[in-house]
Structure 1
Amino acid sequence: MKMVKINFIVLVTIFFLSILLVFYPNLDLYISSFFFDSDTLSWEKRTKIMIFFRKLFPPLIIISLLCVSLTGLIGHILKKVFFNVTLNKVYYLLISLLIGPGLIVESFLKTFSGRARPKEVIEFGGEAIFSSALVFSDQCLRNCSFVSGHAAIAFWLTAYAFIFSELYRKYIFIIGIFFGVSMGLFRIMEGAHFLSDIVFSGLIVVSINVILYYFFINRFFFDREVKW
């Protein structure tokens, strides 16, 4: 299956799932209830893998970006291309990270959405009022539930699919989606996010990655690929 078809299928699936969650907001509460013990008012205990994904995975992604950036910079200085990474592709990674997880997710939505996290709402033993996705509320002042920052940085891994050899792109893209979904699931299990927080996080970040590549970067800025 070609990369374009995979991008289309993934984005359409995420889009329709996000629409479903907007029109049926109680699905958020229903999904989260599977991981909440109403008798003890507690969520799933954090396992080692959950702790890894929450605390160590985001820094590892940033480290990987630094390594790729250094590879592109060294290649630019030496007038060579290593592992198909050019300086323009490094710019693509930085821009997509800044716009998606940075500006849209962290600086805007998580700051101004006002959506309380599952563990904070009345339905799960908290005091805040539940609000559906896309409805800006006053139940949270900062670092709010909508959307998931951890899932955003994990979904951003799909950007790597567009900088390496075309032979590996669809596999890297699918791996990025897998990590985003896994991160999201773990955050839902511990009562930190609703399903819609994860879905919209994926929709925003993956869309930004794809749009930047197909309509801007690939058309104007990417150097010719060098096969190794």
Structure 2
Amino acid sequence: MTDLQLRIAVVVPSGDVLHADFAMSLARMCAATQGLRLNVINTKSSIVAIARNNGVELAQEFDAHYLLFLDSDMMFPEATLLRLLMHQRDIVGATYPKRVPPYNALGTVLPGDVSKTASGLIEMARIPTGCLLVKMSVFEQLARPYFRFDANETTGDIIGEDYIFCDRARSAGFRIWCDPALSHEIGHIGQQVFRIPLVQSAETIPSETTPSASQ
């Protein structure tokens, strides 16, 4: 199969707003992959599992060979899609840190030998789906809905739709891989609130007419 025949559905689950930095990353990636047939699909829902399932169905209608999930709070290199395709795996992606302290990387490395393969990949038990390439044939082996939530009845914790997808895919015989080099180039866009320090007195707070107030 030549690159010109390869059809990729780029699925972006989101709410009503996309981050500007994400949009620029997506635009650069699309420009860098002009030899492929891309269909960028935005599925809006307040429930991310529904957005992902809708994205899979639209990718199937497009008759895609691969689906690339890119969450709307991601920043990524322009060669992201090409680098993931080169691995020629059923499920391969990148991980990234949580947006709350201590900012641990998401996902779980498969227990046992965690050494990299010859291709530089690490096998995972679970991986987040914010930057994940999935061969469409994977979904043919899974019952709908492909993405669903679950709960740990002992702890009461909700298990995300991405980890449940990984569990079900591995149970169906698929292996899940992480590209650690790409993971170091992924950004997870968050939000930070800025406040005037309490030690600053009211007399030293600049007024709106002060030029530095808009910085």
The TM-score with structure 2 as length reference comes to 0.28
Structure having the higher strand fraction is 2
Q: Which has the higher contact order (CA 8 A, sep 6+)?
A: 1
**Which structure is larger by alpha-carbon Rg, 1 or 2?**
2
Structure having the higher helix fraction is 1
